[in-house]
Structure 1
């Protein structure tokens, strides 16, 4: 990326005060002082556990040319440019877009929001576009693609901070992509973070809203409103799950001229799925659109993926203009996202699945599927994230209790919270199990998985929920490497299975 003059970047923000050289040269952007180099514009962000203003001097020592700040620093260096703004994080979004030459304006961008199903829908949209011969990039919780290969998302943010996102969008432009598919979280869409505020969205997709992230948003109403920001921003079309009770919030938020609905309940929806016939490998179903019936085979298990497929079909048809019949031909070729209902193959006489489900809404969708598929006992292992929505913990426990024969509660991402405090809050929702008999509280996730596998007998099913694709468990001392599928496979091998 070529260097920019400061004057090229400031037109879209309100500068309260400019101190120092009026038009310095900016070579990069950073909000982490450890990533600052010569010519960097450093953003002094205020976070939950620290304040970027404390690292201004360190950033300058590393070569920062400009400091974006909201509080006055103790010292002003005459050769450094200081840009005072009301909110550094909000200013970071338009500055990032400008630094990377507003890349989203050069792409057709669709955003996907909802509590559950975002990553799968992102993947499906991207796959359908590429299977139809169109060049597309994407970013999701699991991975991303800006060029020819898919890379694992290194950070635990579904919506990265603005400098990262606009850099990735710029890479898509430079690599000749026509489309960008962006997982759009409530955090990223909130005005408090403004991570996605300066992305030029053509289309918006809504999957569902359930109990999640209330520790950040404060209320379900604010959670819905923050997600609906995507629909306020998307200028061309909106795709909405008609079956979700909150669908009108998103319909009313959208000024787009085209609004499309999908459903597994209402025949009046633009895309309606019926006659679902699931098996262990996927589902046969009939899609109804504009009075026509289309028999389809989806080779991804889970009825929830019928909903995700309809959302993806609607989005691809709108954003690409590809003939619908051509898009439908690609549906059987769709592949699942890693860590979503992943079946662990092996010689063990019981089934093992790894899944990312970690919200009450996701639990309500996946548990009936697992319960129906289990030939004998259903053994469930799960936890709940620390420093996140605490109200959902007993709800998770209650749902698991109603479907499972044996429950093991363990760590998910305790962060700075005490593991056993989280586990006991989950346990408070489990009323029909006895500790030591069919309920076990084991913080160490590896040992908890070992226990679940040891308890499994012929025909049983073990499901481990909450981690899925994630590459770490977050404790008070940082991120510990983790790969749930690999851990399960290692433990099965230790038990003599292959």
Structure 2
């Protein structure tokens, strides 16, 4: 986990352990001179290997989450930061403008795609996000690519060693909600496959892939061709 906000969470965890009765000496021994690796599935989870771009999949889906996570990724990335995200349908629409604006201000390349459209038209959701992104005073390159299966492939084609991709929104989830149908879906697996297709060597998945590993389902099987 990366970023000052995660450090704050870790500090709170230490306080909770102390309140639960753990001795300071035991906590200090665990922390003294060591780097504690903590991984929470879908929370700024790195799915890439040692070579090529660093690719993170995150569950954040608010302007505040975007700002904090982009700053954290920027701090450890020597090259460019590409952000990829969509927004929930049938949820708070008032934050979409600020989501787009914050994403554009914090990234070098921004790709707006789809998330859970639910019963909304995904084209309309993307349009609202794009309005906010284009209102930002920045030199960020802004693209609109749907579906996300194609968006993550395009994202990988635009980055290289030293760069980073932050895919915000889907996190650990293993489905997309499309007109009430939960379609099997894994952003982590799609990102991993896109890395492999681009010639990088991602690690084997540490998550359950919700569909056969030799296939990727259509993003929206209920949508007319």
The normalised TM-score by structure 1 is 0.37
1:305, 1:438 → 2: CA distance?
28
Query: How many equivalent residue pairs?
Result: 195
Structure 1 residue 486: deviation in Å? 1.4
Structure 1 residue 325: deviation in Å? 2.8
Note the 1:345-364 alignment, pairs <5 A. Answer: 345-346=48-49, 348-364=51-67
Q: Residue 325 in 1 paired to residue 28 in 2? A: no
1:490, 1:330 → 2: CA distance?
36
Note the 1:438-477 alignment, pairs <5 A. Answer: 438-477=141-180
Deviates most, 379-388 or 302-311: 302-311
1:342, 1:363 → 2: CA distance?
15
Between Structure 1 and Structure 2, whose CA radius of gyration is higher? 1
Any idea what SS the aligned residue of 2:133 has? coil
Cα gap change, 1:348/1:322 in structure 2, threshold over 3 Å: closer, same or farther? closer
Any idea what SS the aligned residue of 2:134 has? coil
Q: Deviations over 1:69-99 (max 9, x none)?
A: xxxxxxxxxxxxxxxxxxxxxxxxxxxxxxx
Q: Which runs of 5+ in 1 are unaligned?
A: 1-299
Structure 1 residue 413: deviation in Å? 0.9
- Look up the match of 1:401: 104
1:329, 1:415 → 2: CA distance?
48
Structure 1 residue 460: deviation in Å? 2.1
Q: Residue 338 in 1 paired to residue 38 in 2? A: no
1:416 to 116, 119, 123: 119
Structure 1 residue 399: deviation in Å? 0.7
Any idea what SS the aligned residue of 1:428 has? helix
Structure 1 residue 377: deviation in Å? 2.0
**1:344–1:353 contact (8 Å) kept in structure 2:** yes
- Look up the match of 1:368: 71
Any idea what SS the aligned residue of 2:182 has? strand
Any idea what SS the aligned residue of 1:426 has? helix
Over the residues paired in the alignment, what is the CA RMSD in angstroms? 2.1
Structure 1 residue 348: deviation in Å? 4.8
Note the 1:35-50 alignment, pairs <5 A. Answer: none
Q: Deviations over 1:201-247 (max 9, x none)?
A: xxxxxxxxxxxxxxxxxxxxxxxxxxxxxxxxxxxxxxxxxxxxxxx
- Look up the match of 1:78: none
